[in-house]
A and B are shown apart, each in its own frame.
Chain A
Amino acid sequence: MKFLRNLILSFVFAGALSLTTSANADCKVHLGDFDWDSANIHTAIAGYIIEKGYGCEVESTKGSTTPIMAALFDQQIDIITEVWRDNLVQLIEDNLAKGTIVELGVNTPSSTQGFYVDKPTADKYNLKSVDDMKSAEIAKLFADPEAPGKGRMTSCISGWTCYTINLVKHKVYGLDKYYTNFDPGSGGALDAAIAGGFKKGKPVFSYYWTPTGLMGKVDLVKLEEPAYDQACWDEMTTVVEDIKKNGPDVYKPTCACEYVNMSLTKAASTKFANNAANKPIIDFIKNYSIPTADVNKSLAFYMDESGGDMEETAKNFLSSNSMWESWVPSDVASKVKASL
């Protein structure tokens, strides 16, 4: 009997606790997230505002580019807060034409991608541009233990479009004779390869990008490439999309240039955007924009202070900045503030 009494008491107790935390959930938002940290931060901040300010149930799904974008086109995911648009130009324009997605403007106004070398090595051997890399002696510094005689450039993972872009760039720049375009397999492995190189004091030659948390901790130098040119980029994109569809054998000599200093955008599925009930949330996402410097600050906080807690990082951003208050109506802003 004692057991029964305790059981009932504990149910009552648990019930009382859950009453205090239940949220009003008459709407549901499914956010798409990617496997790199700046996307995680935007998802966490936007998710927090939608959950606390608009009282919606927020679900987020994390994955690599292709599956998450496919889920957005398929209307399974409602909103993505960081789209690397210029890497996916073809795909996005096709889907805009088909009417499966709606673009919601710029999120982070500038970002950089490129080929990086660690500073000590770059200084020692005077490496400034991709052309400086084209020598057997330099390639030996970055020796690929599994491909004798070649150096290794840690590239994107094969599910990201930039893997194919790097493949084409290697061929155009003539780097493919000296280096392998090495697929690290996952975003975490790419970070670990760079961090491991720095910890051991070994030369690092890798594709990387900003804004990222790791970039604040290691000293990487970006190699110069031919300057960005719209026509050149478009020509290259056609070849890249062709290779993605039909394999590396269909490579044609093309023009190649540096990654554009691109703005990261936001997108929503048409089904979600056209639903009148979701209009306040769409308006909020349209206003949502964080400058690169602040993204970097949040990334640094995430890496060093939050102890790996994304929600904590989102809360820190919301309580130490006020720019977000202009994205939402004042009643929503006060609700978010109250929850901090």
Chain B
Amino acid sequence: MKKYKKFIKPFVLSILFIFFIIISYRSAKPRYKPENFTDIFNDFSWLGNWPKWLDFPLMQPLNSGFDWLIVKYGLFFEGINNFLLGLYTSMKNSLVGLPWPIVIAIVIFITYFASGRKTNTTVMVAFCTFFLGFLSPRYWDKCIMTTCIVLIGMLLCIVVGIPIGIAMARNKKVRNALLPILDLMQTIPSFCYLIPGILLFGLGAVPAIIAIFVYAVPPLIRLTDLGIRLVDKEVIEASEAFGANKRQTLLGVQIPLALPNIMQGINQCTMMSLAMVVIASMIGTRGIGDEVLLGLQQLNVGMATEAGIAIVLLAIIFDRITQSYGEKIQERTQPKKEIKF
């Protein structure tokens, strides 16, 4: 019996394959297939161009499944929508309501303490923040909107992504199951979930936040997973030797030592969120991205580039704050190692 075990999987797969072909032939429209089933063995013209009856019917079930989702779980999505929208509008309104010098002061304050009192980084970030409004006064409010969307998207990524990353690092089966899903999330064209997002949540900020989550959470999960697995075996053994249980090892040893990697993941997460914000402007998300889109649609290269520079500045601000915070943690957890580039 053991001898045949390796044949089981290929056998099941080929049965499935034949089953798929039969389904596609049966569900094809009559005008696409030969009159008689046996004709395909006499007339081989279908080997030239891909025959229309060899078409797996995936579109119809997906459509009806999606309709079912809207009708059946409409209230559920409505709830998510209202929660995220409430978070977004309250955050946006309070920030837009503040005078701009105070917003800059808050950014400086956050940078100064997050970077461990590094003057260079703080000055750089302050300068970039000032330049957002300086490029065009119109951009200031739009940058705040974009920032709010990115921050909420990131919050969602961190809350969901880090626990999943930890679960992946601790269990090989979970990792094997999740890796293909992460690949799918990273490669599927963003419009495939942006347009359904409109049907579920309506135009505006919420589908953008969902899109940011889908697009930006994989690197965070991967880097959390990697960071925890890269923690030295000896260190874990040592902690176990001192009598730490699994939870204590995770919270006291593995996560602190993996933090630089996790911070790198959060940093990547922010960068990808910003990239998605521009695409999201194509589904009516207000923010700095729609200035780029407007510039392109009106063939106004100057306008598009100016708004593009504003996005780069925003990226620099996010990047410097998260990077320097990561470096600070690294200095704290690995004080003796000096990293030279």
Contacts and interface: CB of A to CB of B under 8 A. Distances in A.
B203 A159 contact: no
Contact of B202 (A17, A145, A158, A183): A145
The majority secondary structure among interface residues of chain B is: helix
Contacts of B67: 199
Contacts of B195: 188-189, 192
Contacts of B49: 21
Contact of A183 (B48, B191, B284): B284
Given A67-B299, A185-B293, A186-B282, A146 B205 contact: yes
Contacts of A259: none
Given A17-B48, A196-B199, A308-B59, A189 B293 contact: no
Contacts of A186: 282-283
A64 B297 contact: yes
A154 B70 contact: no
B283 A189 contact: yes
Contacts of B294: 158-159
Contacts, number: 85
B129 interface: no
Contact of A184 (B70, B200, B283, B299): B283
Nearest to B85: A145
A308 B70 CA distance: 22
Given A185-B282, A193-B198, A158 B290 contact: yes
Interface in A275-289: none
Contact of B191 (A182, A188, A197): A188
Interface in A79-111: none
Interface in A39-77: 64, 66-67, 70
Contact of A66 (B202, B290, B299): B299
A20 B89 CA distance: 61
Nearest to B294: A158
B204 A145 contact: yes
B87 to A, nearest CB: 12
Interface string B54-95: 000001000000010011001000000000010001000000
B177 to A, nearest CB: 31
B290 A185 contact: yes
Given A17-B48, A192-B199, A193-B202, A185 B285 contact: yes
A148 interface: yes
B222 interface: no
Nearest to A184: B284
Nearest to B59: A307
B281 interface: yes
B171 interface: no
Most A-side CB within 10 Å, residue of B67, B195, B202 = B202
Interface string A274-315: 000000000000000000000000000000000110000000
A193 B200 CA distance: 9
Nearest to A70: B299
Interface in A152-197: 154, 157-159, 182-186, 188-189, 192-193, 195-197
A75 B199 CA distance: 39
A183 B297 CA distance: 13
A200 interface: yes
A188 B190 CA distance: 13
B142 interface: no
A200 B70 contact: yes
B214 to A, nearest CB: 17
A189 B299 contact: no
B298 A244 contact: yes
B24 to A, nearest CB: 13
A178 B142 CA distance: 22
Nearest to A244: B298
Contact of B293 (A158, A192, A195): A158
B165 to A, nearest CB: 33
B48 A20 contact: yes
Nearest to A312: B52
B131 to A, nearest CB: 22
Interface string A307-340: 1100000000000000000000000000000000
A339 B163 CA distance: 59
Contact of A159 (B71, B85, B298): B298
Residue from A64, A157, A158, A192 having most chain B Cβ neighbours under 10 A: A192
Contacts of A307: 59
A64 B296 CA distance: 10
Interface string A127-168: 000000000000000000110100000100111000000000
A189 B297 contact: no
Contacts of A17: 48
Contacts of B297: 64, 66-67, 157-159
A186 B293 CA distance: 10
Given A184-B203, A186-B282, 7 more contacts: A17-B48, A146-B286, A185-B285, A185-B290, A192-B283, A195-B199, A200-B74
14 contacts: A20-B48, A21-B48, A67-B296, A67-B299, A145-B85, A182-B284, A183-B290, A186-B282, A186-B283, A188-B191, A188-B195, A193-B202, A199-B199, A307-B59
